[in-house]
Amino acid sequence: MISTVAPAKINWSLEVLGRRDDGYHDVRTVMQAVDLCDEVSVDTAGSLTVARNSTPDAPEDEDLVIRAARALAAAIGREAEAAVSVSKRVPAAAGLGGGSSDGAATLRVLDRLWETGATGDRLLEVAAGLGSDVPFFLRGGTALAEGRGERITPQADVGATWLVILVPPLTMSEKTKRMYAALRPGDSTQGSHADAFLAHLASGRPVVDAPLFNAFERAAYETFDGLSFFRDSLTQAGAASVHLSGAGPALFCVANGEPEARAIRSRVARVRRGEKVHVVRTLTTAESTAVWSDGEASG
């Protein structure tokens, strides 16, 4: 059996530049893998099966694990035969990229199981065909994503940074489509926020002081009924500022170290309203793409 992590992500900066002729939107976003992770394992089998520990099976045309296995098999000219097991921890449909990360993790472990010999560029091409965030998760760490999200420019790993992620019990059908529809012309920018964040990192200053941005923030607070309560609960618990991840509804704050992060989580826990609160640390590229076999240490 071969296993890998499938980390969640947050967006340090997320800008929507405009709508494309193909119906998608051009984005410019700095993404970060964190140590709230699913785990994906594969073993040899005579057909393709997928088992999960908690979440219901998605339709086959929507299941990124199944699609990833079939896409990689088609790319290398073999049958999609493997037993895939997914242990879920990342909340679904929260703006944390859990499904996309599982798809990338599936490519990573099947690449080793099947000994495909595929180049990094070939795997990225397969990943880009699966979804906008999948190429980022194939690389992990910290990266700038452009286009639909498929053009990845790796960045130097940030220093270990602690965050608190709060996932409210708020759901929305067709969330991504509706959130893009809720954007107004004033929400679009030209990429300068990503530049400002990357310049901050390049200066060596800590992330806790960095300028963060999310184009969906206004729309999210107007669309997700009650989201402001959870923002305020983080602020009242000691968060200096609260930010949206992806198109939401997950929120996060950057802490001055692990003790402060755990203190904020503890204070939020006193007035729970069904939210899930996680203390997480940023991951390096190596940590967020670790692959191991039975009997091996991860890494």
Helix (H) or strand (E) holding 139: helix 134-139
DSSP label of 23: S
Residue 151, CA distances (Å) to 65, 97, 114, 140, 199 in order: 21, 17, 26, 13, 20
Active site residue 177: no
Cis ω for the linkage preceding 7 (within 30 of 0): no
Contact assessment for residue 1 and residue 10, using Cβ atoms and an 8 Å cutoff? no
Task: Write out the two tokens for 258.
Answer: 């692990």
Q: Which of 111, 133, 157, 175 is catalytic?
A: 133
Active site residue 276: no
Question: Residue 35, CB half-sphere, CA atoms under 13 Å: how many?
Answer: 13
CA separation for the pair 252, 241 (Å, rounded) = 9
Q: Which of 9, 38, 111, 157 is catalytic?
A: 9
Taking 3-state DSSP, the helix, strand and coil percentages for the chain, each rounded to the nearest 5, stand at 35, 30, 40
Contact assessment for residue 137 and residue 100, using Cβ atoms and an 8 Å cutoff? yes
How many C-beta neighbours within 10 Å does residue 218 have?
15
CA separation for the pair 121, 68 (Å, rounded) = 16
Indicate the SS3 state at residue 286. Answer: helix
How many C-beta neighbours within 10 Å does residue 281 have?
14
Contact assessment for residue 86 and residue 120, using Cβ atoms and an 8 Å cutoff? no
Helices H / strands E in the chain, number of each: 10, 12
Task: Write out the two tokens for 149.
Answer: 């999200």
Residues belonging to the active site: 9, 133
